[in-house]
Chains A and B, each alone.
Chain A
Amino acid sequence: DAGVIQSPRHEVTEMGQEVTLRCKPISGHNSLFWYRQTMMRGLELLIYFNNNVPIDDSGMPEDRFSAKMPNASFSTLKIQPSEPRDSAVYFCASSPGGTGKEGQPQHFGDGTRLSIL
């Protein structure tokens, strides 16, 4: 059974460019999460979706960041314009749960290592 699939695995780009990260959750999972991990700030939750609907985007650092989930099998995290301080590893995770359920494990993808020069 395939796990959470993220692409690209690595991205190096110059500041000011648009960056799009992609995620395919585990089939049948209803919740999807985007995290950012850095040495300084640890693992930060940026946004999460239940049944393709954004539930909480309070972790999104600023308007340069946006996320979409057009269907149950695909989500994107976009940064426009990118800045060097956005350099981090971005993880996508999915969970089997849904509205009203609590206490489900999250399964992480392999992450996208983003470097903004």
Chain B
Amino acid sequence: GENVEQHPSTLSVQEGDSAVIKCTYSDSASNYFPWYKQELGKRPQLIIDIRSNVGEKKDQRIAVTLNKTAKHFSLHITETQPEDSAVYFCAAGVRGATNKLIFGTGTLLAVQP
């Protein structure tokens, strides 16, 4: 069945450094890849998404890259700040299952001041 693997499960960086989270999906027909940020005790919130006709998308300090051939996509956060500390989830849209998303297992990012 459909599967999304996410690495690493935990990531600790120093404030100002960059953070990279990587995901791999199994369904080659997936064409939509959102990223969610979930702060402690809060709901997951969409922070950026990318579709398969685009290889990279950037929004201020956040960027996402997609390699459809390898079925990889990654989240890049530059100049990290303590408020970036949260759990980040990647997801992939499932072919033929309208709007269903398969979520990765999450990455706990800790930005040390």
> Residues of A with Cβ closer than 8 Å to B?
31, 33, 42-43, 45, 48, 50, 55-56, 91, 95, 97-111
In the complex, which of the residues A33, A56, A105, A110 contacts B34, with contact meaning CB atoms closer than 8 Å?
Answer: A105
Question: Which one of A42, A48, A97, A101 lies within 8 Å of B105 (CB-CB)?
Answer: A42
Q: Which of the candidate stretches B44-52, B61-69, B77-85 sits at the interface with the other chain?
A: B44-52
B:23-61 near A, CB below 8 Å? 31-32, 34, 36, 42-46, 49, 51
* 23 examples of A-B residue contacts, CB within 8 angstroms: A31-B98, A42-B103, A43-B89, A43-B106, A45-B101, A50-B98, A50-B99, A55-B98, A56-B97, A56-B100, A97-B99, A100-B98, A102-B93, A105-B34, A105-B46, A106-B46, A106-B99, A106-B101, A107-B46, A108-B43, A108-B45, A109-B43, A110-B42
Cα distance, A106 to B49, chains bound together (Å): 11
**B100 touching A45, Cβ below 8 Å:** yes
Please tell me if the beta carbons of B98 and A43 are within 8 angstroms of each other in the complex. Answer: no
Instruction: Give B86-112 as 1s and 0s: 1 = Cβ < 8 Å from A's Cβ atoms.
Output: 000100010101111101011000000
Contacts of A97 in B (CB 8 A): 98-99
The CA-CA distance from A56 to B97 in the complex, in Å, is 9
CB < 8 Å neighbour of B43 from A55, A95, A102, A111: A111
Are A42 and B98 in touch, CB under 8 angstroms?
no
Inter-chain contact A102/B99, CB cutoff 8 Å: yes
- Report, nearest first, the 6 A-B pairs whose CB atoms are least far apart: A103-B32, A97-B99, A108-B43, A95-B99, A31-B99, A103-B93
Give every chain A residue within 8 A of B45 (Cβ-Cβ).
Answer: 108
Find the A residue at minimum CB distance from B93.
A103
Question: Which one, A48, A55, A104, A108, contacts B44 given CB within 8 A?
Answer: A108
Q: B31: which A residues are within 8 A, CB to CB?
A: 102-103
A residues less than 8 Å from B99 (CB atoms)? 31, 48, 50, 95, 97, 101-104, 106
A-B contact sample (16 more), CB < 8 A, given A106-B46, A109-B43, A110-B42: A31-B98, A42-B106, A45-B100, A45-B101, A50-B98, A55-B98, A56-B100, A91-B44, A101-B98, A102-B93, A102-B98, A102-B99, A103-B31, A104-B93, A105-B46, A108-B43
